[in-house]
Amino acid sequence: MAKGFQTLPGFRDFRPEDCAVRNYLFASFREVAKRYGFVEYETPILEPTELYEKKAGGELNSQLFNFIDKGDRSVTLRPEVTASLGRLVSTVQRDYPKPLRWFEIGQCFRYEKPQKGRTREFYQFNVDLIGESCAGADAELIALSIDLMSELGFVPGDYVIRLSDRAYWQKFGDTKSLSSEQCASLLQIVDKLEREKPEVTEGKLNVLGLTTAEVQEAISNPASLGENLDTVLANLEARGMGDFIEVDLSIVRGLAYYTGVVFEVFDAKKSLRAVAGGGRYDSLISALSNGSVDLPAAGFAIGDVVIRHLIEETPHAAEKMQAAIKASSGCDVYLVLADDSKQANALALAAQLRSAGIATTFSLTPAKVGKQFKQAEQAGAPLALVVGSEFPELSLKILATRSEETISADQDIVETISNILNQ
């Protein structure tokens, strides 16, 4: 292994092929968000630490990349996007009609153990509906997540959306005479039911005067799901999306700001692997604005690392991604110079094609024709245009089929090339 500087643990370099994947994901994110009428915004990656310490809660606070800046301020590289959105909306919401349909693709940082599908630096696609309290808004976001999975090449059976409602647990806590602080502790326990050892869970519940059996019974045999969940389920059924949904009251989400309906998108083959999640957070904006702005809100997020892993492990999704990447190759035409005396003509052709929006490249130094054809294949160019002694006659080769035809530079070369590329 070469000596020298290496990336920090959990951080990534993006080689060209990695950028191609990232661009594919971002284009898919933007396409589906636009389809649902959402518009893009952007917030800074550096925020006051207090924004997260007071409003995120849960284990996220232990994962902050925070430091003291040169102005003696405690600042943090954002671990997620929602808190930044809440801060922004609380200051500018008067300028926009409600509801706000906003999305961001932002870089985030969490100091946690790097593992498969999880890094310390990642991009998060965050979609939020602000100013709408009805259950239809929750259903709209869940529907968007389903359409996003479809856009990325997933089909029924690849994933399942596990749906719950934090309000259900609030009512459960009320029946057990739990305080608001105890209810918050209960939610943290429920969130880790599938990850912690049973004896650890039992000990934590005993402190609250509860047992694992009581909690499991509440999950498995609810007397009522509640009006909100019933409405969301009916809404999604009407859209033809009911088969993607599974009610699972053990899903509560780890962040403390969630207040109502929550959901997570799971890989169906690895049931403990969440690839996206979100829910309702009606009190966050009020908390961030010290009560001056009170807007209901709901949203969800998906990270680039985990969804890339799932795509690569799902053959039909991976095939769709690779086809899209190939179709958006950076090169349409490779100019092969077979006669050095025609270099000026080749350069003029390159300029003409580039001006028309046709991606064109060529060897910058003299090279044998065979080597130039190899470079054309390496560049991913579908076409090779050979400029030789017969100029203005040109040889056009379709590299995939090895077929060849003669065209003239005196004709409308742009139209000719465009027609072939669009076939």
- In this predicted model, what pLDDT tens digit does every residue of 57-82 receive, in sequence order? 556 678 899 999 999 999 999 999 99
Exposure string over 101-139, b if 16+ CB within 10 A, otherwise e: bbbbbbebbbeeeeeebebbbbbbbbbbbbbbbebebbb
Q: Check whether 116 has a pLDDT greater than 80.
A: no
Contacts of 397 (CB under 8 A, 6+ apart): 383, 384, 385, 386, 403, 404
Residue 341 is given by DSSP the state G
For the segment 286-311, the average pLDDT, to the nearest whole number, is 94
The percentage of the chain sitting over the pLDDT mark of 70, rounded to a whole number, equals: 97
Domain presence at residue 8: no
> What are phi and psi for residue 101, nearest 5 degrees?
-115, 95
Q: Could you tell me if 272 and 199 lie in one domain?
A: yes
SS3 label, residue 158: coil
Angle between helices 180-191 and 198-207 (to 10 degrees): 170
Whether the CB-CB separation of 225 and 31 falls below 8 Å is answered with no
Beta strands in 291-354 (DSSP E): 297-303, 333-337
Q: Could you tell me if 275 and 304 lie in one domain?
A: yes
Q: Could you tell me if 79 and 174 lie in one domain?
A: yes
Query: What rounded mean pLDDT belongs to the chain?
Result: 92
Cα separations in angstroms, 264 against 93, 97, 148, 242, 260: 28, 29, 14, 15, 13
Which run of H or of E encompasses 104?
A: strand 100-109
For residue 410, the domain's CATH number is: 3.40.50.800
Token look-up 């929550």 returns 262
Which of 323, 358, 382 terminates a domain? The answer is 323
Domain presence at residue 42: yes
Domain presence at residue 212: yes
Residue 365 is given by DSSP the state S
Q: Check whether 351 has a pLDDT greater than 70.
A: yes
Q: Could you tell me if 318 and 333 lie in one domain?
A: no
- pLDDT tier for residue 360 given thresholds of 50, 70 and 90: very high
Q: Could you tell me if 27 and 97 lie in one domain?
A: yes
Domain presence at residue 1: no
Strand-pairing partners, residue 349, are none
Q: Could you tell me if 175 and 237 lie in one domain?
A: yes
Domain that includes residue 297, residue range: 16-323
Domain presence at residue 7: no
Whether the CB-CB separation of 100 and 93 falls below 8 Å is answered with yes
Residue 65's nearest CA partner among 55, 52, 56 is 52
Domain presence at residue 2: no
Q: Check whether 246 has a pLDDT greater than 70.
A: yes
Angle, alpha carbons 157-163-166 (nearest 5°): 165
Which of 295, 323, 351 terminates a domain? The answer is 323
Q: Could you tell me if 270 and 296 lie in one domain?
A: yes
Residue 148's nearest CA partner among 116, 108, 103 is 103
Which of 323, 338, 370 terminates a domain? The answer is 323
Q: Could you tell me if 143 and 259 lie in one domain?
A: yes
Q: Could you tell me if 409 and 273 lie in one domain?
A: no
The token pair at 322 is 């690779």
Q: Check whether 56 has a pLDDT greater than 70.
A: no
For the segment 33-56, the average pLDDT, to the nearest whole number, is 91
Q: Could you tell me if 155 and 294 lie in one domain?
A: yes
For residue 59, the domain's CATH number is: 3.30.930.10
Write down the pLDDT at residue 271.
61
Q: How many domains does the chain have?
A: 2
Contacts of 7 (CB under 8 A, 6+ apart): 13
Q: What would the pLDDT profile of 334-345 be if each residue is shown by its tens digit?
A: 999 999 999 999
Q: Could you tell me if 71 and 152 lie in one domain?
A: yes
Write down the pLDDT at residue 59.
61
pTM summary value: 0.88
Q: What would the pLDDT profile of 136-172 be if each residue is shown by its tens digit?
A: 999 999 999 999 999 999 999 999 999 999 999 999 9
> What are phi and psi for residue 364, nearest 5 degrees?
-80, -20
Token look-up 């509801």 returns 99
Residue 246's nearest CA partner among 154, 126, 142 is 142
Whether the CB-CB separation of 249 and 222 falls below 8 Å is answered with yes
Cα separations in angstroms, 351 against 66, 113, 335, 357: 49, 50, 11, 10
Domain presence at residue 11: no
Q: Could you tell me if 363 and 382 lie in one domain?
A: yes
> What are phi and psi for residue 96, nearest 5 degrees?
-130, 140
Token look-up 């807007």 returns 295
Domain presence at residue 169: yes
